[in-house]
Amino acid sequence: MRWFVLRRLALAPLVLLGMTCITFFVSQLIPIDPVAAYLGGRGAAQSDAAEQAIIDALNARWGWDKPIPERYWIYLTNLLQGDMGESSHSARAVSTDLANVLPPTIELVVAALVVALVFGIPLGVFAAARRGGVWDALFKVVSTLAISVPVFWLAIVGFMVFYGRLGWAAGPGQLDIFTRPPPEVTGMVTVDSILAGRWDALFDTLHHLAFPALVLGLVIGFYFARVVRSEMVDALESDYVRTARGKGLRRRLVLYRHAFRNAVIPVITLSGLAFGSLLTGIIVVERVVGWPGLGQYAFTAATRLDLNALSGVVLVISLAYVLANLTVDLLYTVADPRVRDGMRS
Amino acid sequence: MLSVRDLDVTFRARAPVLAVRGVSYDLAAGEHVGLVGESGSGKSAGALALVRLLPDYADVSGRVMLDGADLLRLNERELRAVRGDQVGIVYQDPFSSLNPVLTIGKQLTEVLSKHKGLGARAARREAARLLETVGVPNAEERISDYPHQFSGGMRQRAVIAMAVAPRPALLIADEPTTALDVTVQAQILELLQELTSEHETTMLLITHDLGVVAGVTQRVMVMYAGRIVESSSTEDVFTRASHPYTVALHRSLPRIDVRQERLVTIEGQPPDPTQLVRGCPFAPRCPSRIDRCADEDPPLMTIPTARRAAARGWDMASIREEDGEQVPGPASPHLTACWNPPDPAGDEPGPAR
């Protein structure tokens, strides 16, 4: 067990190295002059000499005039020292930017996952227990709709209706402009509010968090529900569930102790995969509701050809993926005794 | 003790499958009865239907009286009180009938806490004792094992422990040895025999293997195409089989006392359960078929009645009035559903071969 975790953790740097390789070389394929992209509008200096001086300075710092393998080496050695370069659009170190945008995104992702699990899993069990019935048919229709609707459409229309028309959802950002933010500790406003005992700020930020978390959570939740339903249907038709019914156990025990324990195993794997769609989802949703997180940062970086920032984002997302998959594997060993034993030997 | 009347099981499908058709029988307390037939004869469906353990798409009708209550008419709650408590079941495949993610102990104790009202610690102690009884070594430790850590035979022992835990009045053993190694089969049968005799449990032993039935049961019912075609004492079934199907089953048993070039099989195929034709379902494969077999499905009757009916050309109605259509029970004579039962003793040959 411990060896398994260590082995997986030891593999993580290799995966990340591979990712830097891909992002770096792909970004080299894009036919843009990094100097021009970095300077952008600021490139128009007073004189050619001044401009050349700026270019030389940049080249000296980033080695943009050097051959590609050498540049990769420079990038890598900088990265190992925690230096991801400077973002051209924010003019700050990418690492500083990431440290700022990560906490709000973690808040959003966790909230969305909580929403998805809390309603998705019971819904799937409910539909499976009534398979073939009216509720099951209704579930199929609604979940198909929820999964096929694009997230950006749902986010935009939902925001228009619930914020614009009805005023139920809170506006853009994490807090109302009149709410004094809690002192920053973790960067996650919810946690910081609790730490500071600022209940007004907590309720305000939860209000702001609710809409994007519900949009993301709904889509993934219905996805979870469908997987849970199909796995539950299989489990309910299995011999061991027949054995459990043959023992005269209560319906709820048969459903949860016997069928669900088995059905949840594949669900764990699939939630690892769902993590990917969650990450693409945050880019759109954060953009729509103005959530100051990684998604918005990635969007801005991409539209402004901010290669340093983009590489940083990709690296963070890769790391998140590696961690998510490790978590999935660990949960697997908790849920399935057969896997647990396989790893011991 | 158990009395089944006109049990029908139909699996709803595009072409409905008539798995069990009008089966009736009685079991006395403490009796061990075998239900024999090839796969698809409806023996498992008929047995699981007793406690309504078939999938949703199975329609079950008839009456199943257990100690005065009709199991087919109980509500869910009342049925749960019967299942596992009064009726224990041992299933065919111990590799799929145990829950892979729960420990053996958990799966055992849940029966005890449900039906015996034992607390966690008492249930665990009782579970260990039960595992010990069914012959699982180191029961105290193995109680925390998961099914995949058990061998096939050990799993089936655990399943048996779950089935007998609340001392049921009736034990249904649905092909309990089919999935096991031959060497283990005998041990499992012996264990079932031992446990049921000890507490005078009634056992309905379902199998496709006449050999399994031989040492364990007092009485045998042979099923073919969803009907009971022969019922007699186990001894009679082996020495004086009266239905051509049973006779053919015997011939198909491999023998060690005679050198055989090849195994004997029963010619032809069992009938398609989705479309049953007129007459005796075994007629197309039957060596002692007579004309009326194609038109009338014979009821279960005593052998003399069957002979007389065939010889005198009685119609179905008069047979029922006379002494035909009997229900197999602890005291019933040798019954057969055949218009022309062969007589292996040779003292009274049937009218036509």
Q: What is the CATH number of the domain that holds A150?
A: 1.10.3720.10
pLDDT value, residue B351: 40
Asked whether residue A64 falls in the same domain as residue A179, the answer is no
Asked whether residue A138 falls in the same domain as residue A268, the answer is yes
Chain A: closest CA distance from residue B91 (Å): 8
pTM: 0.82
Class of CATH domain B2-217: alpha beta
The answer to whether residue B114 neighbours chain A at the CB level (below 8 Å) is yes
Residue B97 and residue A239: Cβ atoms within 8 Å?
Answer: yes
Asked whether residue A98 falls in the same domain as residue A76, the answer is no
pLDDT tens string for chain B (353 positions)? 899 999 999 999 888 999 999 999 999 999 999 999 888 888 999 999 999 999 888 999 999 999 889 999 999 999 999 999 999 999 999 999 999 999 999 999 999 998 888 888 999 999 999 999 999 999 899 999 999 999 999 999 999 999 999 899 999 999 999 888 888 899 999 999 999 988 889 999 999 888 888 889 999 999 999 999 999 999 988 888 889 999 888 887 777 777 777 777 887 888 888 887 788 999 988 888 888 888 888 888 888 888 888 777 787 777 776 677 889 999 889 999 998 888 655 444 444 33
Is the per-residue pLDDT at A1 higher than 80? no
- Does A187 fall in a domain? yes
- CB-CB contact of B10 with B276 (8 Å): no
- Does A325 fall in a domain? yes
Number of Cβ atoms within 10 Å of the Cβ of A292: 17
- Does A22 fall in a domain? no
Asked whether residue A107 falls in the same domain as residue A79, the answer is no
- Does A328 fall in a domain? yes
Chain A: closest CA distance from residue B151 (Å): 14
Residue B111 and residue A247: Cβ atoms within 8 Å?
Answer: yes
The answer to whether residue A258 neighbours chain B at the CB level (below 8 Å) is yes
A268/B99 Cα distance (integer angstroms): 19
The answer to whether residue B113 neighbours chain A at the CB level (below 8 Å) is no
CB-CB: which of A239, A258, A337 is closest to B96? Answer: A239
Asked whether residue A181 falls in the same domain as residue A73, the answer is no
Across B10-26, b (16+ Cβ under 10 Å) vs e yields: bbeeeeebbbbbbbbbb
pLDDT value, residue B248: 87
Residue A262 and residue B97: Cβ atoms within 8 Å?
Answer: no
Tokens coding A261:
């324990």
- Does A50 fall in a domain? yes
The answer to whether residue A334 neighbours chain B at the CB level (below 8 Å) is no
Write the DSSP symbol of residue B269: -
pLDDT value, residue B346: 46
Degrees, nearest 5: CA angle B309-B310-B313: 75
Helix (H) or strand (E) holding A99: helix A94-129
Asked whether residue A63 falls in the same domain as residue A197, the answer is no
> Which pLDDT tens digit goes with each residue over A138-158?
999 999 998 888 888 988 999
What residues make up the domain containing A339? 94-344
Domain limits, chain B: 2-217, 241-255+278-353
Report the amino acid identity of residue A228. V
How, if at all, do strands B17-27 and B2-11 pair? antiparallel
pLDDT value, residue B239: 86
Alpha helices, H only, A30-67: 34-39, 48-62
pLDDT value, residue B353: 34
CB-CB: which of B55, B82, B148 is closest to A237? Answer: B55
The answer to whether residue B345 neighbours chain A at the CB level (below 8 Å) is no
Write the DSSP symbol of residue A86: B
Asked whether residue A105 falls in the same domain as residue A249, the answer is yes
Is the per-residue pLDDT at A40 higher than 50? yes
pLDDT value, residue A233: 93
- Does A159 fall in a domain? yes
Chain A: closest CA distance from residue B87 (Å): 9
Query: Chain A partners of B56 at a C-beta cutoff of 8 Å?
Result: 132
The answer to whether residue A239 neighbours chain B at the CB level (below 8 Å) is yes
H and E: helices and strands count for chain A? 15, 0
Asked whether residue A231 falls in the same domain as residue A130, the answer is yes
Edge-first strand order for the sheet with B2-11 is B17-27, B2-11, B58-66, B69-70
Q: Name the closest residue on chain B to residue A333, using Cα atoms.
A: B101
Asked whether residue A104 falls in the same domain as residue A48, the answer is no
C-alpha distance across the termini of chain B, in Å: 40
B258/B240 Cα distance (integer angstroms): 20
Is the per-residue pLDDT at A43 higher than 60? no
Q: Per mean pLDDT, which range of A1-5, A332-336, B113-117 is the poorest?
A: A1-5
Question: What was the ipTM of the complex prediction?
Answer: 0.89
- CB-CB contact of A55 with A64 (8 Å): no
SS3 B25: strand
A205/A310 Cα distance (integer angstroms): 28
Window A:39-98, CB contacts with B under 8 Å? none
A248/A251 Cα distance (integer angstroms): 9
- CB-CB contact of B230 with B336 (8 Å): yes
Q: Name the closest residue on chain A to residue B98, using Cα atoms.
A: A240
A190/B245 Cα distance (integer angstroms): 77
Asked whether residue A76 falls in the same domain as residue A202, the answer is no
- Does A21 fall in a domain? no
Confidence at A85, pLDDT banded by 50, 70, 90: confident
Number of domains in chain A: 2
Helix (H) or strand (E) holding B161: helix B152-164
Chain B: closest CA distance from residue A17 (Å): 38
The answer to whether residue A331 neighbours chain B at the CB level (below 8 Å) is no
Asked whether residue A71 falls in the same domain as residue A122, the answer is no
- CB-CB contact of B212 with B27 (8 Å): no
Asked whether residue A73 falls in the same domain as residue A107, the answer is no
HSE (CB half, 13 Å, CA atoms) of A135?
10
pLDDT value, residue B345: 53
